[in-house]
Structure 1
């Protein structure tokens, strides 16, 4: 089984659902794809790249995906969930507002770069809205079973990246 990290975000309502509820619903829909699952708190973050848009609600989920689920299979499942909540990739502006965006940040130690998928996510380490919730989950694990120090090394690696992003506004909304 592979340990996977996903970033979830929304800054547009869909039908009667506000963005914060879309992120929570997407998290619940992703859960069955995992055999172990951890979700971060929910965060409100400023939009990056295109500033003239509403704030995003973001969270990260991590865990071991079901046996046999490949990165491309997972991407297909993610696209179904995104479409369910109104995402239309053909009509959206890159980095613009969206009802739901789910990114595969990490898939074990795999490296993929093809026409449909890049893993690790190429902008993961420049986004506080990914690193803050990811580090939150990692820090919970250190208190648990980090007998080989692997989680501690990840915290150092991604924590150093986060220090460079202090200009990005991010605030915790809920646990």
Structure 2
């Protein structure tokens, strides 16, 4: 299974963050030869590093290659980056952890562990982020991470609150 985190906090070409995330899910499947298996509900999350910006909408989705096609992590990353650009992400002016029309992160690709200059799997910061782990738990409650840690155990190590689909960390 391929898990992708989706987030947005400003409008892009597809409209407000909700519309942008919905458009991204469709485009990832179409462009990547992937089937959308499950998607979490959307959560509103407070900004983590740059606080003076709109709150984010976050979601996690699970994809599977169509008809067991051969798909590599790099293939998926290429699709995610192309979809980000199509839907308004412009890295040339962005502030790290600042506002964005769309942010797509490849979290997990089956149980693959890898580190290249371009891609690290599992995502190197996912275990620090309740806005990733909470929605991931929605769709994969029994998930065991590549290092053998249960997802629920990883989440138990964070300080966060969830109330009415709002995550504070």
TM-score (norm: length of structure 1):
0.81
Question: Deviation above 4 Å: which 4+ runs of structure 1?
Answer: 168-171
Deviations 1:79-131 (A, max 9, x none): 11101111112221111111000000001111121111111000111111111
The structure where helix makes up a greater share of residues is: 1
- Inter-partner Cα distance in structure 2 for 1:12 and 1:25: 14
> How much has 1:21 moved relative to structure 2?
1.3
Do 2:14 and 2:23's aligned partners in 1 also have CA atoms closer than 8 Å?
no
Flag the 1:17–1:166 CA change in 2: closer, same or farther, 3 A. same
- Inter-partner Cα distance in structure 1 for 2:87 and 2:7: 12
Do 1:14 and 1:99's aligned partners in 2 also have CA atoms closer than 8 Å?
yes
Q: Indicate the residue corresponding to 1:159 in structure 2.
A: 152
Give the match's secondary structure for 2:60: strand
Do 1:45 and 1:169's aligned partners in 2 also have CA atoms closer than 8 Å?
no
Give the match's secondary structure for 1:166: coil
Q: Indicate the residue corresponding to 1:64 in structure 2.
A: 64
Unaligned runs of 5+ in 2: none
Flag the 1:51–1:166 CA change in 2: closer, same or farther, 3 A. same
Q: Indicate the residue corresponding to 2:16 in structure 1.
A: 18
Q: Indicate the residue corresponding to 1:142 in structure 2.
A: none
Task: State the number of aligned residues.
Answer: 159
Q: Indicate the residue corresponding to 1:74 in structure 2.
A: 76
Deviations 1:107-157 (A, max 9, x none): 111112111111100011111111111101013xxxxxxxxxxx3656x72
Give the match's secondary structure for 1:44: strand
Q: Indicate the residue corresponding to 1:137 in structure 2.
A: 139
Give the match's secondary structure for 1:130: helix
Unaligned runs of 5+ in 1: 140-150
Give the match's secondary structure for 1:6: strand
Do 2:8 and 2:101's aligned partners in 1 also have CA atoms closer than 8 Å?
yes
Do 2:36 and 2:61's aligned partners in 1 also have CA atoms closer than 8 Å?
no
1:89-168 matches, cutoff 5 A: 89-139=91-141, 151=142, 153=144, 157-167=150-160
